[in-house]
Structure 1
Amino acid sequence: MIRNQSMTSQMQGKIIDKVQVTPSEVRYHFRNMKKEDIPLVDPMVEYAQITVIPPIELEEENRIKARLREFKERVENGENFATLAVLYSEGPSAVNGGELGFMGRAQLDANYATAAFNLKGDRVSNVVKSEFGYHIIQVVDRRGDQINTRHILLKPKANIEAMEEAKSRLDSLANFIRKEEVTFADAAMRYSFDKNSRNSGGKVINPQTMSTKWRQQELDPDVSKILDGLKVNEISEPFKTIDDKQRTVYKIVKLIDRTEQHRANLQEDYQLLTEIYLQEKQEEAMNQWISEQQAKTYISIDRTYANCNFKFKGWQK
């Protein structure tokens, strides 16, 4: 069953991967759409951010590592790793006994992956530092190039002084930007800790669409709340939030643009219109291929299924 599904997906991929659309085709298709068929585009925002991660004291990092070494020793003395993960891990997988599911190397933090793939049997790793915090790891199962691991994650916490320092630093930076002593983009490239947005002048890319536009429901709730209170080109006060690595950080954000709900148009929504037309052409190509196969393939359908409502017509001859 799984093999058949895989072969089907591969064949569909071969067919639709050949389909392309040109800018002139997109424009022609749009101009011939009925008004009621032109999609409504949700309200969107574009924003930039500068992120500061409060520094962690060495004493706190040592405390975390010692705690994880204690958990490792307890597992080696017979305690259940998954139970300890449920009780103590600070990662979202804690409810599953720390289990992450099957993943390849590229899906894991580099340090985590190296430690996990080098483990033998059910041994527990030494303490591993990743961009999420500190871990100990145990392998659950292997499947080809993928591995299923469970882990206990502990995150070192910044002290109050470090948190206040990060907030104060961003407050000063925001004032410099408002006085036009430095641009937001230059400040982001020089001072932001977030490597994903830093090199684009702080502009935040939506990973679902790979564009700079965000629907409200796609935004982090803390960021969404702040942006709601800003005018275009206005800069927020520093605020505390959790980043995509589940770390406590401080941010300032700038609202670059806000668009209200509207009918799609070529100027603002060219990418969306391209995707819609591409999907239509891919579906046409798939239907054409199926029709061609039906014409030259012997097909016998059991009477039990003769009255079924098939997605594609023409199976019964």
Structure 2
Amino acid sequence: MTITAGFSQEIIKDEVKTEVKETKRQGNRIKADGVAAVVGDYIVLDSDVNRRIAQIKAAGGDIGDITNCEIFGSILEEKLYAHQAIQDSIVVNELQIRSQIDQQIQGILGQFNGSMTEMLNFYKKDSEDALREEIYEINKNQSLASQMRNKVLEEIEITPEEVRQFYNDLKEEGLPTFGTELQIANIVIIPEVTEASKQVAIDKLAGFKKDVEENGASFTTKVLFYTDDAGSKSTGGKYTLNRKRPRMVKEFRDVAFSLQEGEISEPFESIYGYHIILLEKIRGQEYDVRHILLRPEITPDAIEKARKQIEDIRTRIVDGSVTFAEAAREFSDEEETKFEGGQMTNPTTQDFNFELTKMDPEIYGQIQDLKDGEVSPIIQDGDRENPIKFKIMTVTNRIDDHEADFARDYLKIKRLALQNKHFDALGKWQEETIMSTYIKINGDYRSCDFNGNWLKNK
């Protein structure tokens, strides 16, 4: 069992110690907060279980029937993966990790009715900055643990024969039932960006570059005032790129890796709009950059033209002049779906089927009232690449809930079989790594009935 990490941990490098680390007040009594466990270079405090529970609730999770022993076991697992990740020289993306903290702080504050003082008292921190640093360490070790799991699983594959054997085993135990599934198609029309709008964005970026280079203006300040990249605005447009681990679109990487320290690029285009990049620092394979993104303005005329086009397409489908699939192939601006007649691919299963109870809530809201074959009203939508787009949707097929069938549900069965193989591989890795890692469990937790051999008594 893996449960989202909590907000208390410490790394110990030399001598393993188990004395009391801190105290907390309970009424008029003082309870010692000692070391509940040591896993490699990590310690787990007695208070970590309660903090883990608080974090799960802050994220909207439900503890349900999960016991303290199960939560404690999940903390041990995480420390084991993180410890081994460090031994294997796995590194993390610091900027990406820090970018999560604001949202986490707001979520936790909600548990304390917005009181920063109560939150700091609960986590025994003197300042918000101290809490942020602790959360950073938690995020970092979550990332280490996740990457270590991925490393264990990265070369595991499954053959068709293994899938068939897994299915046969399921038949003996009782085949699962798959819920009602829908196949959905859409046609998307994106307002055209004029050349004049593109040139305005390019000229603005060129002006920013000139102001920084010739007048000493602050690049970071211009990010805060002008960038259209909401994801990096709060960090001054900063990203860390690594030559060995591609991140960002190719155009962005190519420009960033061509710069010298302190150099600002010329304006360039990507699928998101137009950028300039400042290369701040090169650290071996890592490049610290800041960028400004401008999306060319979409004119009212272009928006109205796109709306009229989608209205005309919908009318022609409804009156039978053209089928939905034909219209998608002819007119849709969504490259991922147009050549499949508008059929949308489920990102989880990689087929065309969307299980009703597991469907993305936004997609469900757009098709929930549609009868099979009915064309939706025009929907105005947007995404990171296209702030405005128009679409129509239809349900092309409905598959009622049914017992798993090898031919019809092969991809789902394959996914289940691979998950089962992953589970076995992680169990084997954990068992072996526990035996080769220094682990000590203290106090009442020694009486827990762990899934893993944490007490090394088997």
How would you bin the TM-score normalised by the shorter chain?
0.7 to 0.9
Matched, 1:183 2:326: no
Distance 2:285 2:225 in 1: 30
Listed one character per residue, the Cα deviations across residues 270-316 of structure 1 (whole Å, up to 9, x for unaligned) are 4333322332234335545777x69xx98696766694866533844
The letter for the 1-side match of 2:318 is R
**Cα distance in 1 for residues equivalent to 2:307 and 2:321:** 19
- Aligned-partner residue type, residue 70 of structure 1: G
Q: Contact (CA 8 Å) 2:272, 2:384: kept in 1 or not?
A: no
- The DSSP-based 3-state class of the residue aligned with 2:183 is strand
Residue 95 of structure 1 aligns with which residue? 234
Which of 197, 200, 205 does residue 63 from structure 1 map onto? 200
> Is 1:4 matched with 2:62?
no
Letter of the structure 1 residue corresponding to residue 195 of structure 2: L
Shift of 1:200: 1.7
Identity score, percent: 23
- Following superposition, the deviation at residue 45 of structure 1 comes to 3.5
- 1:5 Cα deviation from its structure 2 partner: 4.6
CA offsets 1:178-212 (integer angstroms, 9 cap, x no match): 23332222222222111111222211223343222
Partners of 2:190 and 2:386 within 8 A in 1: no
Contact 1:167 1:239 in 2 (8 A): no
| CA distance, structure 1, for counterparts of residue 316 and residue 440 of structure 2 | 77
Residue equivalent to 2:184: 47
Q: Distance in 1 between matches of 2:194 and 2:435?
A: 72
Q: Give the Cα separation in 2 of the matches to 1:144 and 1:45.
A: 49
Deviations 1:196-235 (A, max 9, x none): 11222211223343222346776473x4433123212111
For residue 33 of structure 2, what is the aligned residue in structure 1? none
Q: String of CA shifts for 1:252-276, please: whole Å, max 9, x gaps.
A: 222223457x576226644333322
- Measured at CA, do residues 240 and 78 of structure 1 come closer, stay the same or move farther in structure 2, by a change above 3 Å? same
Aligned-partner residue type, residue 389 of structure 2: V
C-alpha distance in structure 2 between counterparts of 1:40 and 1:144, whole Å: 50
Partner secondary structure for residue 230 of structure 1: coil
- 2: distance between equivalents of 1:259 and 1:121? 57
CA distance in structure 2 between the aligned counterparts of 1:52 and 1:28, rounded to whole angstroms: 46
Cα distance between partner residues in 2 of 1:233 and 1:226: 14
**Map of 2:345 onto structure 1:** 205
Distance across 1 between alignment mates of 2:310 and 2:429: 58
Please give the alpha-carbon distance, in whole angstroms, between the structure 2 residues aligned to 1:192 and 1:163.
16
**Could you state the TM-score of these two structures normalised by the residue count of structure 2?**
0.57
Instruction: Give the match's secondary structure for 2:353.
Output: coil
CA contact (8 A) 1:299 1:315 kept: no
Q: Deviations over 1:126-161 (max 9, x none)?
A: 111111111111224446655443211111122222
Shift of 1:32: 2.4
How far apart in 2 are the matches of 1:97 and 1:174?
A: 43
Q: 1:316 to 1:47 in 2, by over 3 A?
A: same
- Residues 103 and 148 in structure 1, CA contact (< 8 A), matched pair in contact too: no
Structure 1 residues 82 and 31, CA gap change in structure 2 (3 angstroms): same
Residue 306 (structure 2) aligned to one of 166, 182, 205: 166
Aligned partner (choices 371, 387, 396) of residue 231 of structure 1: 371
Kept in 2, the 8 Å contact 1:264–1:273? The answer is: no
CA distance in 1, matches of 2:194, 2:366: 30
Query: How many residues matched?
Result: 308
Partners of 2:253 and 2:425 lie apart in 1 by: 40
What's the TM-score once normalised by structure 1's chain length?
Answer: 0.79
Q: Does 1:122 align with 2:122?
A: no
Aligned to 2:405: 266
> Which region of structure 1 is more displaced relative to structure 2, 71-80 or 126-135?
71-80
User: Does the 8 Å CA contact 2:178/2:404 hold for their aligned counterparts?
Assistant: no
1:301–1:316 Cα contact (<8 Å) kept: no
SS of residue matched to 1:257: strand
CA contact (8 A) 1:54 1:162 kept: yes
Q: CA deviation at 1:53?
A: 1.7
For residues 220 and 403 of structure 2, the distance between their equivalents in structure 1, rounded to whole angstroms, comes to: 50
Q: Which has the higher contact order (CA 8 A, sep 6+)?
A: 1
Counterpart Cα distance in 1 of 2:269 and 2:365:
32
Gaps of 5+ in 1: none
Q: Which residue of 2 aligns with 1:72?
A: 209
